[in-house]
Amino acid sequence: MDMSVFDLFKIGIGPSSSHTVGPMVAARRFLVEYGCLDEVVGVEAALYGSLALTGVGHATDKAVILGLMGETPQDVSPDAVDAKLAAIEAAGEIALLGTHAVPFTAATGLLWHKSESLPEHPNGMRFTLKLADGARVDKVYYSIGGGFIREAGEVPVPAAAGAQPVFPFDTMEQLLAHGVASSLSIPEMLRANECVRRSDDELNQGLDRIWHVMRDCIAHGLETTGKLPGGLDVKRRAAKLWRQAQDAKASDNRANDLPHDAVHLVSLYAMAVNEENAAGGRVVTAPTNGAAGIIPAVLRYYAEDCRPSDPVGGVRRFMLTAAAIGMLCKRNASISGAEVGCQGEVGVACAMAAAGLVAALGGSNEQIENAAEIGIEHHLGMTCDPIGGLVQIPCIERNGMGAVKAITAASLALNGDGTHFVSLDEVIETMRQTGADMQDKYKETSLGGLAVHVITVNHAAC
């Protein structure tokens, strides 16, 4: 396994890891790899398949332009994006990597091929540079989910001889076998693998930074009201519901308290994150933006409601374990909604959160595996059918539900002995096959499911 925990958890902006973060990274990489821009007189970006069909709703156009400017998802200020784009449109030119100006407008520089897909993945894009001598230079990239990108025909480079993981694994079966042989837990083995690349202090600082951004995202979402952008006029709900919950808690009359109130708050944490994501705010890809609320919500539940004796260490164990599950899902199936539907996003995030919670609470490796399996199994077949191509309906509520399912899966696993009928490896393979069998219209194209029926009903009512 050549992935790191920081590949699965990346700081970026909304609303989509595959449609926003990936294209921004690809656009910038294209220019950086080309090198000298002195002879460049024009630039063009062509988007294909799912990127073209739902790209406007997912801010792919904005992401590509920002990437061409040299911006990165982790560093660009969400509040400055609109002003940067407006300046380009007003000037009719873009400064490539912030240094070399060429003529450009979104209307002429972005091409949308909605009826055509490139061969290696539904999320394909082609960047072209026009040179002063009339020549053209182009490259094709694919956004393969979770902010990961791949150049057409690119073969992954094996890890250097001196950077091999201490506990190499491509399946959960292998990871469990390492645990038996070493008597180490899954988070301990993941820590050993990470420390081949970085010091223990660097790892801890990185994990703490990710958790800090997640916490800030929840907090901002719980205090921000208004409508989400995109034209559906979806109102933010998390802040209002959060205020109602806090008012009820502060009341002297606790007769209205219900046993499920704590679970209700977990849903609000997840929804707050995904409202921030839908608004293009700062989020952590976990493992995608469309499912970014589940892990932060369950982490906050652990830190605040589970009364941990070592909350800092528990959060770190949670994240390392969650990353291991995400690595297995990405390697052996997919975390791209355009490739396998929402089972690969919300389903995988649920599995990651369930496994992480079990690890943080001291569960065994077998219980961790059981929790992850439950998390995916009960999302098998979930389609990706965003209304209007926006990461709003049903995505925001799905994160709330996914967080609750993750806690339920962890509880079931912790109350068992780790033995169960379906293995995690088997359910990941089932997810892969289910995604392959799923019709394309249910895979982030907005051509089927809720995306069609709700819009049809609304139009009929007008």
Q: Kindly state whether residue 109 falls inside one of the protein's structural domains.
A: yes
Half-sphere exposure of 84 (CA within 13 A, CB side): 19
Same domain for 105 and 186, yes or no, is: no
Same domain for 446 and 317, yes or no, is: yes
End-to-end CA distance of the chain: 53
3-state secondary structure the chain: CCCCHHHHCEEEECCCHHHHHHHHHHHHHHHHHHCCCCCEEEEEEEEEHHHHHCCCCCCHHHHHHHHHHCCCCCCCCHHHHHHHHHHHHHHCEEEECCCEEEECCHHHHEEEECCCCCCCCCCEEEEEEEECCCCEEEEEEEEEECCEEEECCCCCCCCCHHHCCCCCCCCHHHHHHHHHHHCCCHHHHHHHHHCCCCCHHHHHHHHHHHHHHHHHHHHHHCCCCCECCCCCCCECCHHHHHHHHHHHHHCCCCCCCCCCHHHHHHHHHHHHHHHHHHCCCEEEECCCCCCCCHHHHHHHHHHHHCCCCCHHHHHHHHHHHHHHHHHHHHHHCCCCHHHHCHHHCHHHHHHHHHHHHHHHCCCCHHHHHHHHHHHHHCCCCCCECCHHHCCCCCHHHHHHHHHHHHHHHHHHHHCCCCCCCCCHHHHHHHHHHHHHHCCHHHECCCCCCHHHHHHHHHHHHC
Same domain for 316 and 371, yes or no, is: yes
Same domain for 287 and 177, yes or no, is: yes
Residue 229 tokens, joined: 């952008």
Cis peptide before 15 (omega within 30 of 0): yes
Instruction: List, in order, residues 6 or more apart from 53 with CB less than 8 Å away.
Output: 114, 389, 444, 445, 446, 447
Same domain for 429 and 347, yes or no, is: yes
Q: Kindly state whether residue 161 falls inside one of the protein's structural domains.
A: no
Same domain for 271 and 376, yes or no, is: yes
Rounded to whole angstroms, how far apart are CA atoms 335 and 330?
5
In this structure, the chain runs to a length of 462
- pLDDT for residue 334: 97
- pLDDT for residue 254: 59
Same domain for 141 and 206, yes or no, is: no
Q: Which range marks the domain in which residue 407 is found?
A: 172-453
Closest among 72, 101, 105 to 88, alpha carbons compared: 105
CATH for 89: 3.30.1330.90
Rounded to whole angstroms, how far apart are CA atoms 311 and 290?
27
Same domain for 319 and 417, yes or no, is: yes
How are beta strands 100-103 and 93-96 bridged, if at all? antiparallel
Q: Kindly state whether residue 157 falls inside one of the protein's structural domains.
A: no
Same domain for 75 and 180, yes or no, is: no
Rounded to whole angstroms, how far apart are CA atoms 392 and 231?
11
- pLDDT for residue 459: 37
Q: Kindly state whether residue 462 falls inside one of the protein's structural domains.
A: no
pLDDT in tens, the chain (462 residues): 689 999 999 999 999 999 999 999 999 999 999 999 999 999 999 999 999 999 999 999 999 999 999 999 999 999 999 999 999 999 999 999 999 999 999 999 999 999 999 999 999 999 999 999 999 999 999 999 999 999 999 887 655 555 789 999 999 999 999 999 999 999 999 999 999 999 999 999 999 999 999 999 999 999 999 999 999 999 999 999 999 999 888 875 655 666 677 789 999 999 999 999 999 999 999 999 999 999 999 999 999 999 999 999 999 999 999 999 999 999 999 999 999 999 999 999 999 999 999 999 999 999 999 999 999 999 999 999 999 999 999 999 999 999 999 999 999 999 999 999 999 999 999 999 999 999 999 999 999 999 998 864 443 333
CB 294 within 8 A of CB 353: yes
Same domain for 123 and 229, yes or no, is: no
- pLDDT for residue 157: 63
Q: Is 253 left (phi over 0), alpha (psi -120 to 50) or beta?
A: beta
Residue with tokens 């791209």: 336
- pLDDT for residue 259: 62
- pLDDT for residue 460: 36
Same domain for 147 and 183, yes or no, is: no
Same domain for 184 and 135, yes or no, is: no
Rounded to whole angstroms, how far apart are CA atoms 130 and 92?
16
Q: Kindly state whether residue 356 falls inside one of the protein's structural domains.
A: yes
Q: Kindly state whether residue 265 falls inside one of the protein's structural domains.
A: yes
